[in-house]
Structure 1
Amino acid sequence: MIRFLHGADFHLDSAFGALPAQRAAERRRESRELLFRLADYVNGHDIDLVLLAGDLFDSASPFRETGEQLAAALGQMRARVFVAPGNHDWYGPGSPWETETWPENVTVFRERAMTAAEVPELDLVVHGAAFTGPDQPESLLAGFTAPADGKVHIGLLHGELDGAEDRYDPIRREEVSASGLAYLALGHVHKRMEPLTLGRTVCAWPGCLEGRGFDELGEKGFYEGTISDSGEVSLAFVPFARHRYEILEVDVTGKDPRTAVEAALPPDTAGDLYRILLTGETAEGGAGAAALREALADRFDTLEVRDRTRMAEDLWQRAGEDSLRGLFLRELLARREAAEDEAARAEIDLAARFGLAALDHRDLG
């Protein structure tokens, strides 16, 4: 039986542009440290084979020390390691795949065509290919069929299955079915996908190893699997990231906002980056997003609180008053009733809140 680890899309040296500069630099350092945690996992779980399906770097020209640390971490793994460069870290002149000295246990696929690497001690062959530029408009699996020689055959590629556009190795389902591979390890899709079986081939995307923004939510990690002597594949997802990005929507209608948020939060959020969206109806002062963020910030790695509440309908009833407040509300109410969509109404609600706060000499923050 072969034990393997399948990871992809580390995107080392990502900018983390949404974070403050100091925190972004810390996250980049943490990403490099994660590599050595991964090496410890490989060695502690008797992994035979490590399959890394591209975009390990965020660009084809990362910082030199990042390449050095990746090489050092992979060299610590007591396993054979295979890498298929992707569209971000494509193989070419000056790329770290060419300039870095990779350990003996590491094989980097460098051709824009499927090539074979034998692993005799496991009676196994790994077939892989590389992006050699930022685009790969033709499927790298097209026309490929593994030989029927009694060995276990695995594929390693960065690409999409039936992609919407032909830019990132658009693999077709029928190509996977005809490949003769026991397992096809894929990268490029940052959201973990449940394994697919096409023909006799199991294929999967593990998603990115760690989220980098609020478009990469939830648990991140890798697949750990086994391949039996008969070629049967079994997979389990292993959450591995120290930080998660999460978006939490909380309806605070008729509630104290802080109490409502605390009731909705899971118990342990210390390492996570949260965006909390406050919804529902509130009084003139809104939900107090700034104060809420200040009160809860130490429970998170990073916290955003956004007030998406609307003014309670009964507040607009004061538009009938014979006062400056009534005149102000009547003008906005007419615009609100004529608004074309919810976004326009939300802007008018916000204007009403700030206007009423000004009339009452209150500070909305």
Structure 2
Amino acid sequence: MIRFLHGADFHLDSAFGALPPGQAAARRRESRELALRLADYVKEHGIDLVLLAGDLFDSASPFRETGEQLAAALGQMRARVFISPGNHDWYGPGSPWETVDWPENVYVFKENRLTAVEVPERNLVIHGAAFSGPEQPESLLAGFTAPADGKCHIGLLHGELDGAEARYGPIRREEAAASGLCYLALGHVHKRTAPLTLGRTVCAWPGCPEGRGFDELGEKGFYEGTISDGGEVSLTFVPFARHRYEVLEVDVTGKEPRAAVEAALPPETAGDLYRILLTGETGEGGAGAAAIQEALADRFYALEVRDRTRMAEDLWRRAEEDSLRGLFLRELRQRRKQAETEAERAEIDLAARFGLAALDHRDLG
């Protein structure tokens, strides 16, 4: 039996530009430590084989120190390591795949076509390829079929299945089904996918091991798997991220907004980055998003609170008053009825709140 680890899309040297400078620098340091943590995991869990499916760097020209740190960490693994560069960290002149001194246990695929590496002590063959530029419009799996030689054949590629556009290593289902591979280890898709069996080939994307923004939500990590002597593949997802990005929507209708938020929060959030969206109906003053954010900020690694509430319907009823307030509300109510999108209606609600506050000499902050 072979025990393997399948990871991808580390995106080392990502800027984390949405965070304050101190936190962004801390996250970059933590991302460089990812491979060291993986090395410890590999040693502790008896992993034989490590498959890394591209975009380990965020660009083809990362800091040299980042490449050297990754090489040192991979060298600590008591396992064979195979890497297929992707569209962000494509193989080319001056890339870290060419300039860094990679340890003996690490093999980097360098050609823009499938090539094979034998692992005779495991009766195993790894087939992989590299992006040679930021785009790869042709399938690197096209026309490939592993020989029926009694060996376990594994594919390692950066690409997407049935992608909307053929720019990043498109793979077709029929190609995977005809490949004869025991396992196809894939990268590029940052959201983990459940294992998919095409023909007799098991395919999977582990997603990225750390989220970098609110488009990469939830638990992140890698796949740990086994391949039996008969070629059967079993996969287990291993959560490994130090920080998670989460979006929480809280309806505050008829509630005190801060209390509603606190009631909706899970118990442990100190290491997470949260975006809380306040929804429902509120009074003229809104939900007090800024005050909630200030009050709860130290419960999170980072927090932003956004007010997406709408003005309560009974406030619009005051548009019938024979007053400046009524005239103001009638004008905005008519514009609101004519608005075509929810975003336009939200802007009108906000204008109403600030206008009413100005009429009443109140400060909304």
TM-score by length of 1: 0.98
C-alpha displacement of 1:162:
1.3
Asked whether 1:64 is paired with 2:51, we answer no
Q: Between the two proteins, what is the percent identity of the paired residues?
A: 86
C-alpha displacement of 1:341:
2.8
1:79-114 deviation line (CA, Å, top 9, x unaligned): 000000000000000000000000000000001111
Instruction: Give the gaps of 5 or more residues in structure 1.
Output: none
Per the alignment, in what secondary structure is the counterpart of residue 33 of structure 2? Answer: helix
- Amino acid aligned to 1:2: I
- Amino acid aligned to 1:341: T
Q: Distance in 2 between matches of 1:338 and 1:80?
A: 64
1:61-81 deviation line (CA, Å, top 9, x unaligned): 001111011001100111000
Bigger drift between 311-320 and 100-109 goes to 311-320
C-alpha displacement of 1:326:
2.0
Q: Distance in 1 between matches of 2:70 and 2:256?
A: 48
Task: Tell me the equivalent position of 1:78.
Answer: 78
Q: Distance in 2 between matches of 1:310 and 1:360?
A: 19
Task: Tell me the equivalent position of 2:95.
Answer: 95
Q: Distance in 1 between matches of 2:148 and 2:337?
A: 70
1:249-294 deviation line (CA, Å, top 9, x unaligned): 0100000111111111111011100000000000000000000001
- Amino acid aligned to 1:11: H
Asked whether 1:182 is paired with 2:182, we answer yes
C-alpha displacement of 1:157:
0.3
- Amino acid aligned to 2:15: A
Map 1:175-214 onto structure 2 (within 5 A): 175-214=175-214
- Amino acid aligned to 2:130: A
1:278-333 deviation line (CA, Å, top 9, x unaligned): 00000000000000001110110000100000010101122222322222222222
Map 1:97-112 onto structure 2 (within 5 A): 97-112=97-112
Task: Tell me the equivalent position of 2:40.
Answer: 40
Q: Distance in 1 between matches of 2:153 and 2:89?
A: 25
Q: Distance in 1 between matches of 2:99 and 2:165?
A: 32
Bigger drift between 352-361 and 315-324 goes to 315-324
C-alpha displacement of 1:158:
0.3
Q: Distance in 1 between matches of 2:332 and 2:297?
A: 35
Q: Distance in 2 between matches of 1:291 and 1:242?
A: 28
Q: Distance in 2 between matches of 1:23 and 1:358?
A: 37
Q: Distance in 1 between matches of 2:297 and 2:119?
A: 50
C-alpha displacement of 1:35:
1.5
Q: Distance in 1 between matches of 2:142 and 2:270?
A: 46
Map 1:315-354 onto structure 2 (within 5 A): 315-354=315-354
TM-score by length of 2: 0.98
Per the alignment, in what secondary structure is the counterpart of residue 66 of structure 2? Answer: helix
Q: Distance in 2 between matches of 1:300 and 1:43?
A: 32
1:322-364 deviation line (CA, Å, top 9, x unaligned): 3222222222222222222322221111001011111222222
- Amino acid aligned to 2:320: G
Q: Distance in 2 between matches of 1:141 and 1:27?
A: 35
C-alpha displacement of 1:174:
1.2
C-alpha displacement of 1:214:
0.4
- Amino acid aligned to 1:235: L
Asked whether 1:12 is paired with 2:12, we answer yes
C-alpha displacement of 1:155:
0.6
Task: Tell me the equivalent position of 1:134.
Answer: 134
Per the alignment, in what secondary structure is the counterpart of residue 236 of structure 2? Answer: strand
Task: Tell me the equivalent position of 1:301.
Answer: 301
1:140-163 deviation line (CA, Å, top 9, x unaligned): 011111111111111100001111
